Amino acid sequence: MSRIAIPEPVKGSRWNDERGEVRVMAVVEGYVVLRRKGCAPFLRPLRVFVAQFRPAL
């Protein structure tokens, strides 16, 4: 059985959720630092990030 490869967040990559696009500012010790345009940065644990966000097309 093959597994689907889930892309990993890297600095500068863009991702989407139900609220819109975010930019990855950093990935540090199991956390992802994100920022929406015009908003303050925020953190998500990597596990939660992968469950909530999808790569932007």
Domain that holds residue 49: 14-55
Which residues are paired to 21 by β-bridges?
16
Residue 18 lies in a domain: yes
Domain count, the chain: 1
Q: Are strands 54-55 and 14-17 parallel, antiparallel or unpaired?
A: antiparallel
Question: The tokens of 6 are what?
Answer: 């889930």
Residue 6 lies in a domain: no
Residue 24 lies in a domain: yes
Match 């892309």 to its residue by tokens. Answer: 7
CA distance 46 to 41: 15
57 has a pLDDT exceeding 90: no
Q: What's the predicted TM-score (pTM) here? A: 0.85
Span 16-44, pLDDT tens digits: 999 999 999 999 999 999 999 999 999 99
Question: The tokens of 30 are what?
Answer: 């199991």
